[in-house]
Structure 1
Amino acid sequence: MKQLLSLCLILLLPTCLISQTKEFHVKYVNTPISIDGILDEPVWEQAEPASDFWQYFPSDSIQAKNQSEIRMLYNENMLYVGIKVYVQGQDFVIPSLRRDFRAGGSDNITLMFDTFNDGANAFLFGVNPAGVRREALVSGGGTSLRGFTTSWDVKWTAQTKIYKEFYISEWAIPMSSFKFTEGTKKWRFNSYQFDTQGNERNTWIRIPRNQFIFNLSYMGDMIFEKPLTNSKTPISLIPYVTGIHSKDFENDKDLNDFKAGGDAKLSIGNSLNLDLTFNPDFSQVEADNLVTNLTRFEVNLPERRQFFIENSDLFGNFGNPGEANPFFSRRIGIARDSLGVNRQIDILAGARLSGKLTNDFRIGLLNVQTNEEKQFDIGANNHTVVALQHRVFERSNISAIFLNRQNTSNEDYINPEDEYNRLVGLDYNLGTLDNTWAGNAYIHKSFTPGLHKNDFSTGLRLNYNSFRWRIRGSGFYVGENFNSDLGFIPRKGILRIDPEIEHLIFPAHEKVVQHNISFIPLVIWKPDLNYKLTDYNMIGLWNVEFTNTSQFSAKLFNRYTFLFSEFDPSGTGNKALPAFTDYHYTSGEIEYRSNSRKIFFYELESNYGKFYNGEKFTQEAKVNLRIQPNYLMSLEARYDKIDMPEPYSDNDIWLIGSKFDITFSKSLFWATLIQYSNLENNFGINSRLQWRFAPLSDIFLVYNDNYLSNNSFEPRYRSINLKLNYWLYL
């Protein structure tokens, strides 16, 4: 570890002076500001603008053709923002009136505030020309899409008006929405703007095209006229009531339930949040999209529950997030019964304290109690997580985690090995100021009754990111007895390396913006079996991005797999490939994404090649139709044709999903998701009507219907749920 820290210090020294010094000043005001999208108060004329935006796309070396001006004012309770965005017409792309829209392929402007000046986390607020708002949390320095969380919600106000050559947006954001150090006079700041008519993406601080547009390494400064004080921080209470009527057709049971509970949010000073939940209900949460999983391992799906969102990076970014993550919040509320089937379990109550104790020290404490389910031999459990993070250098940190899943039942069906599961871990995360170097090193150890060896995981990753090259060296080890009941660990007992080398080419061509050519060798061994080779996948990739925002990519895969247990790659459940056999197979894939600024846009993907000892052809298509701003319709279809030699089974697998998103207004939404999977033998409908009758307060009417997708098409489960939640400030 000492050698690694020394290397990090050496890497940081050449970049200590690259911080950009572009700045603007924020004036303190006592006069009231009317949020009407007009900016007619005289004090706006005294506010210094943040201007002179740079292009990020299609070029990153020239000033934006259509500029923006951002002015800010503030007092103890409110940050006021006045934005003027110049445009070359009023043919905007506004896919929906729903809050928390996606920026890509639409017109909008977004502001990011790094309130602790650490380049690690930021609060993000945005608006489109129709005045639709979005807010998000940016974590991990903005170096990956994993660090972009739109599920976060706060109360703030915005009004937007469209004029002939520009649109104006006026905002009022409560200072209590931010976390910051009392007495500070500076926040780091950047803004990015999407202009579909000019085909531009612009940023206030110039960002190289090899970085994400929300990268926190590249920010200027907003200087406050007076030091910031400890703003009034209201207590938020969010009670709910919900009633559900459902029928389980497979077991011929009528299920009716009425629940009440709620959440509370308390700010402790300017830097800490305390979230409480009692008898929570997540029935209104958007349904997960089905996936066709033809691998031997589980896949993870994103967290959508509001209670687990804020500061989620502090808890969830340990280890290797995709392969050896010790904490995956979706595990809470799910338990495995005596037959190995996952069951949804009620959460009784939970508490979550997270935020900063000092500018350099973050803390996260989580405790959740789940109920028992005697009919499935599942006991009650208490889940505790402690996460600590201390910044070192400019953008690096040392983090520690402790997890404990403790059985709280006194039932005979609880096996001794299920009494508890614990884990301790230490991570070092490297990040230089310009994101040229980034990496991670970790070591984690678990504690499970009866297991005393091969119960640790360790890994190392180092990324080099220049304008033309991205190079990664990475690998990790997961012991056979390494267990985290609250984590996501699809494979154990392995040593894996997955380095990558990628070359970026920026041609001087009016139709092509960028080429990416990369090679990833992924190799896995079994250390407990004398380092036997169990898998490899050699991946070659070429991707080209066009000026009109469409993309084309081609991939080549050369794979080797050794099976330690029987496996049926066709998914039929019939005769499986025998254990202790191995397979070499090669396949190719091409993908095309059309211009997302169009009313009709689509994605096409084809994959063909060998599949174990047979062949597989996959065709995927996704089409979207936008009748803006009220209607957005999409259809996704995936077909897998698997041909296996005798005596193994062939299979034709279909996965079809259709989503209809109707936004009648900025407060009334109706979304319907229809999904068909013959692999899961399910046809499902999830329809959700949402009325936002007050800020962040909603009435939901949710209808679910599921049928067997075979020839009988018999009903499986049907429910209708009515839920009301109300956000109170005290």
Structure 2
Amino acid sequence: MKGMMLYRFFTLCLMVCSVGCAIGYAQKQENHELLARKVSPGSIKIDGLLDEPVWQQAAVANHFWQNFPYDSSAANAQTEVRVLYDEDYIYIGAICYGQSPDEIVVSSLRRDFSSDNNDFFLANFDTFQDGTNGFQFGVNPYGVQREGLIADGGNRGTDEAWDNKWFAEVSRLADYWVVEMAIPFKSIRFKNGSTEWKANFLRGDLAHFERSSWVPVPRNFSISSLAYTGILRFETPLRKPKSNIVAIPYLTGSYNEDFTQDTTGAVYKGNAGADFKVALSASLNLDLTFNPDFSQVEVDRQVTNLDRFEIFFPERRQFFLENADLFANFGFSRIRPFFSRRIGIARDTVTGLIVQTPILYGARLSGKVNRDWRVGLLNMQTNPDESRGIVGKNYTVAAVQRRVFTRSNIAAVFVNEQTTSTEQQDFTFNTNQYNRVVGLDYNLASADNTWQGKFFYHQLFTPENLPGQFAHAAYLAYNKPTFFVAWNHEWVGGNYKPSTGYVPRNGHFRLEPFARYTIFPKKSKHIARHNIFFYNSFYWDSLGTSTDRFSQLRYEAVLQNTAGLNLAVRRNYVRLFFSFDPTNTDGLELPEGSEYTTYSAEFNFNTDRRKLFNLDGGINYGQYYNGHLLGIQGSVNYRFQPFGSISLSGNYIRILLPQPYNSAELILLGPRIDLSFTRKLFLTTFVQYNNQIDNVNINARLQWRFKPVSDIFVVYTDNYFANELQQKNRALVIKATYWLNI
């Protein structure tokens, strides 16, 4: 059976390759070409005015087209863009018409703003013209900067966690605002000698609920889609920056106190380390880290957990972010052979808790070799801790990606976790404790993005060499403005357990068909679109027994004023293959092998996001295993523009199960204050009350960006037992980082 499945899998891959090649059509770009003129160094001052003579002589990109709410008409708020460059910088000037200062919407002065809650101007660069990977730089009308990496052709949006050094200023006038940006070529990866990039310029105007772009992007795609770009042509070939080495040293001091241990007393520590970024070429980068410290990273948001499986939290640590897709996007979201958050954590065998473990060093080579090839190599070493029973480990990930056809690629990955310490030796590679994955992925994207897909096969190798150490899946989607249909199937072996991956569920075969139908009313003053979704997910175990069947019919309305609502009805069947407490409160567990068919409904809404006061919420009710569940969730937000916001989010779940099983009332509350005193000084404070895990968390983070990409952080964390408000632990960290160009 396994051989037959592999045969079908690779046959399907070949068929899809042919389809992807045949059906893609070249996008129309004849009228979307912009010449970037070269200027003398020092001829532009970044002040948001565009009053230098060289700007008046620059070519203009204009005639922006709507992406939303319609994609067949010119933008109501028009934009003009000019591009210049010298030896060290690329300069972008933009005039954003059609907005008075009273109509501007921004969430705060904090860097890396969300495009959903802010007016914006963005520039996308596809420097290798592969339609897959790119860079994004943007600002809002208050000059707040945002930079990000675009992967998978922009289908997954932009990763704004990436940070780099560049400059921008904005001026706001009576009925328009002006952008002036200077981006060092050192901050962008590109081919040495390039004479053209693919590019697009994007505009968001929340007051009129409009998104627009220089090159038209169909409204069924993300506006950042790299399938729709124009040509940015340079007067002279671009040259690799002469020196491109960055050192980012840090110093930390910390205070920690654990009130749950028998021993009392505070622990004071100091630490130092550094990151280095070395550009081996204009497109290939070497990242190094020594004794890294991630104490400034914001803590994860707590959730009420009713799942039978592990919850996923995204990577936030800066070292792992550039070219993260090259390492992290193998497999599916819940079948990942590599998940970087596994590095630097381990189980304390004394307490049984998951704790941080020191990383000695990390090295990561990543980037483009040429237009068709990308490579990635990562190696990290953690330190053993004998007192907690934690062994040292070495992590190696190697990835290579080859572009095929217009925008598709084939990628291979090798992941190795190797234990490097024993009771007798603190460091040795001479152990037989390893966990290795070898995998092959085919990522499909047609030229116009109508067809998207992924097909992969991964094999796990361990000393035990057990049967069922494999995973394979196939996903194919067809996307048109009014119709979207997708097919997915997965086959995960019972012993496919990559220890450096994220695979919360194994030993199953899954089918996941999905369809969406969209209606765009032509003359409605209130409704921008209607969406009707039909989603299914079916699981079978390795013996062919059905374990899960989930079906959902959902209706969504998006209003012209940014508000929205949706209603869903569901049918769910579960056959438990291990005993489980549905409340996750350590109550009596439902027995293995028991079966449940349930029906439920859900309603959600959000009000106008442009208003200073807005809210969203929802309610769901229905059967839940052998009982019933009522869930109410919502958030209340007040924005005091442009300095920040205050919000209160909450989640209440009442589970009623028959005796002798636990019933429960689960409450999760999260008040949050987000303040930006200036574009360089930010304070975030939030409280998380979670009675399911009996915890109250208080977290405050003050950040002062005293120079570009150089910061001082003060982070305070406190945890209490939720029921008695008895203190668990407390920590205070002060960290300073400095970006130094060498």
Q: Same fold (TM over 0.5)?
A: yes
Matches within 5 A, 1:709-728: 709-710=722-723, 712-728=724-740
Match in the other structure for 1:471? 485
Match of residue 712 from structure 2: 699
* CA–CA distance in structure 2, aligned partners of residues 373 and 589 of structure 1: 48
How far apart are residue 12 of structure 1 and its match?
Answer: 2.6
Give the Å deviation of 1:19.
4.0
- Correspondence 1:605-616 to 2 at 5 A: 605-616=618-629
Alignment counterpart, residue 101 of structure 2, candidates 90, 95, 109: 90
For 1:704 and 1:609, the matched residues in 2 are separated by 38
* 2:444 matches 1:435: no
The one-letter amino acid of 1:525's match is W
For the residues of structure 2 that align with 1:417 and 1:541, how far apart are their CA atoms?
A: 53
Q: Which residue of 2 aligns with 1:604?
A: 617
Match of 1:421 among 430, 435, 444: 435
In structure 1, the partner of 2:520 is 506
Does structure 2 conserve the Cα–Cα contact (< 8 Å) formed by 1:659 and 1:674?
yes
Matched position secondary structure for 1:307: helix
Alpha-carbon distance change, 18 to 108 in structure 1, aligned in 2, over 3 angstroms: closer
* Equivalent residue letter for 1:336: R
Equivalent-residue separation in structure 2 for 1:722 and 1:460 (angstroms):
47
1:406 aligned residue: 418
Give the superposition deviation at 1:658: 1.4
Give distance in 2, aligned partners of 1:487 and 1:199: 40
- Cα deviation for residue 70 of structure 1 reads 0.6
| Cα distance change, pair 621–412 in 1 and its aligned pair in 2 (3 A) | farther
Residue in structure 1 matched with residue 24 of structure 2 by the alignment:
15
Report the secondary structure of 1:197's partner residue.
helix
Describe how 1:299-448 pairs up with structure 2 within 5 A: 299-321=311-333, 323-338=334-349, 341-411=353-423, 419-448=433-462
Taking a change above 3 Å as real, the CA distance of residues 540 and 418 of structure 1, as seen in their structure-2 partners, is farther
Identity %: 43
Counterparts of 2:363 and 2:221 in 1: how far apart (Å)? 36
Output the CA distance in 2 between the equivalents of 1:332 and 1:7.
35
Superposed CA offset, 1:641-687 (max 9, x none): 00001111110000011110111111111110210000010011010
Tell me, in whole angstroms, the C-alpha distance in 1 between the residues paired with 2:677 and 2:240: 40
Tell me the equivalent position of 2:223: 213
- What is the aligned counterpart of 1:149 among 139, 159, 166? 159
- Structure 1 residue aligned with 2:241, among 231, 246, 258? 231
Give the residue type in structure 2 aligned to 1:26: A
- Structure 1 counterpart SS, 2:208: coil
Which stretch shifts more, 7-16 or 631-640? 7-16
Query: Does structure 1 residue 641 correspond to structure 2 residue 641?
Result: no
Amino acid at match of 2:505: R
TM (norm. structure 1) is 0.97
- Whether contact under 8 Å (2:76, 2:98) holds in the other structure is no
Cα distance in 1, alignment partners of residues 28 and 456 from structure 2: 29
Amino acid in the other structure paired with 1:38 = L
1:395-442 deviation line (CA, Å, top 9, x unaligned) = 10000000110001022799x998110110001111001111111110
In 2, distance between residues paired with 1:342 and 1:199? 45
CA contact (8 A) 1:417 1:450 kept: no
Contact 2:249 2:275 in 1 (8 A): yes
Q: Is residue 518 of structure 2 the alignment partner of residue 515 of structure 1?
A: no
Among 168, 183, 186, the alignment partner of 1:158 is 168
Matched, 1:576 2:589: yes
Alpha-carbon displacement from aligned partner over 1:12-32 (angstroms, at most 9, x marks no partner): 334333342311111111252
Distance (whole Å) between structure 2 residues aligned to residue 66 and residue 367 of structure 1:
48
Is 1:627 the equivalent of 2:640?
Answer: yes
Aligned counterparts of 1:472 and 1:631: Cα–Cα separation in 2 = 39
- 1:172-221, Cα deviation, whole Å (9 max, x unpaired): 11011111111221111111111123332111111111111111111111
Q: Cα deviations across residues 673-719 of structure 1 (Å, max 9, x unaligned)?
A: 21000001001101011111111111111111110001x21100001
Q: Given that residues 294 and 571 in structure 1 are in contact (C-alpha distance below 8 angstroms), is that contact kept between their aligned partners in structure 2?
A: yes
Contact in 1 for aligned 2:619/2:633 (Cα 8 Å): yes
Is the 8 Å Cα contact of residues 408 and 446 (structure 2) preserved in structure 1?
yes
Cα distance, 1:376 vs. partner? 2.5
Alpha-carbon offset, residue 87 of structure 1: 2.3
Q: 1:538 aligns with which of 551, 573, 588?
A: 551
Count residues in correspondence: 723
- C-alpha contact (below 8 Å) 2:326/2:376 kept by paired residues: yes
* Residue of 38, 47, 53 corresponding to 1:28: 38
Question: In the alignment, residue 550 of structure 2 is paired with which amino acid?
Answer: N
* Structure 1 residue identity aligned to 2:281: G
Matched, 1:54 2:65: yes
Question: How do residues 54-133 of structure 1 correspond to structure 2 at under 5 angstroms?
Answer: 54-91=65-102, 92-133=104-145
Give the partner amino acid of 1:393: F
CA distance in 1 between counterparts of 2:687 and 2:20 reads: 51
Closer, same or farther: CA 68–697 of 1 in aligned 2, 3 Å: same
Match in the other structure for 2:6: none
Determine if contact 2:257/2:730 at 8 Å carries over to the other structure: yes
Per-residue deviation, residues 598-654 of structure 1 (Å, max 9, x unmatched): 101111111100000000000001111100111311111000000001111110000
Distance in 1 (CA, whole Å) between partners of 2:501 and 2:367 is 22
Which segments of 5 or more consecutive residues in structure 1 lack a partner in the other structure?
none
Quote the Cα distance in structure 2 between the aligned partners of 1:423 and 1:631: 45
Against the structure 1 CA distance between its residues 41 and 720, is the aligned structure 2 distance closer, same or farther, given a 3 Å change threshold?
Answer: same
| Structure 1 residue 571, shift from structure 2 partner | 2.3
Helix, strand or coil at the partner of 1:490 = coil
* Cα separation, partners in 2 of 1:233 and 1:595, compared to 1, 3 Å: farther
Q: Is the 8 A contact 1:88 1:198 kept in 2?
A: no
Moved more, 238-247 or 564-573: 564-573
- Matches of 2:243 and 2:623 in 1, distance apart? 60
Distance 1:80 1:592 in 2: 41
Q: Deviations over 1:575-613 (max 9, x none)?
A: 111112111111111110111111011111111000000
